[in-house]
Amino acid sequence: MVRAPCCAKMGLNRGPWTLEEDQILTSYIQKYGHSNWRALPKLAGLLRCGKSCRLRWINYLKPEIKRGNFSREEEDAIINLHELLGNKWSAIAAKLPGRTDNEIKNVWHTHLKKRLLKQKKNQGGGNYSPQQFSSVQECSVSATANTSETESTESQSDTALSPQPSSSGSGAVSSVSSDNLIAATASNYVEILPEEEFSVLIDEAFWSAPEEEESGEYSQFDPQINSLDFSVLNPDEGMDGGGGFPRIDEGMDFWYDLFVQAGGIEGL
């Protein structure tokens, strides 16, 4: 498989970073920051493209990066967040300080996906049933005219597991979120529930140790997110929406869209 180089400019280094390159990049960023990734390599004297520098910094060199194996709690958090957010790796990473989206993505594909499949087999369904996400898939597919029908069987099985389509249908999520949400049943709730309130509710549901967050520490994630009490959002109990607010286990597309509409993880 031959790919075009990442940068139009030829003669740039590619592949694994050397210790020297790491040191140059680190010291430059510590001194001058990274206001312009594109210009950075030139200014720092690196034969790399800006994109490569950014990735290296974010995924490896940043001081706050936590190296080493994922704890069971972190893995559970990833699983639960993935169940809620889909392949929003950056959003998931934002909830796991010290972990990068790339790292989480890798862990998901190498460990957790298999673990879930295993669980599913053992439990004859498990908490990642395909039915759970079928509506998301349908929604995404219908909203994505260019979704390929020639995807490999593997990617199809991935899609079956994942609430989101692959990047071959890139843009599907964003194209689905806003318009469809308004058109769908959720419209009232988004208007009724201000972003801030929604954010607080979701955050409180996720994290139970705010004092730890204040100190910058990774808060304990409740692995039993499935049991979260979202009834607090139920329109029958305060909000005049009616019409059966979906439960967490029956309307993941709704929840996902609502989350996106609320500004995603940035809004939380």
Question: Site residues (CB under 7 A) for DNA?
Answer: 1, 3-7, 13-17, 35-39, 50-52, 54-56, 59-60, 87-91, 101-103, 105-107, 109-111, 155, 158, 162, 164, 166-168, 170-171, 174-175
CB of 215 to DNA, least distance (A): 24
Which residue type sits at 202? I
Please say whether the beta carbons of 82 and 252 come within 8 A. no
Give 26 or 155: the residue with its C-beta nearer to DNA. 155
| CA distance linking residue 226 with residue 230, whole number of Å | 10
Give 63 or 242: the residue with its C-beta nearer to DNA. 63
Give 1 or 229: the residue with its C-beta nearer to DNA. 1
Give 88 or 95: the residue with its C-beta nearer to DNA. 88
Give 109 or 121: the residue with its C-beta nearer to DNA. 109
What single-letter DSSP state applies at residue 220? P
What single-letter DSSP state applies at residue 101? H
Give 56 or 95: the residue with its C-beta nearer to DNA. 56
CB of 184 to DNA, least distance (A): 18
Question: Cβ contacts of residue 149 below 8 Å, gap of 6+?
Answer: none
CB of 96 to DNA, least distance (A): 13
CB of 206 to DNA, least distance (A): 17
| CA distance linking residue 264 with residue 268, whole number of Å | 7
Residue carrying structure tokens 């979260």: 228
CB of 5 to DNA, least distance (A): 4
CB of 14 to DNA, least distance (A): 4
- Reading the block at residue 90, the tokens are 């950056």
- Reading the block at residue 93, the tokens are 């990473």
> Length of the chain, please?
268
How large is the angle between the packed helices 172-183 and 252-261, nearest 10 degrees?
Answer: 100
What 3-state DSSP class applies to 221? strand
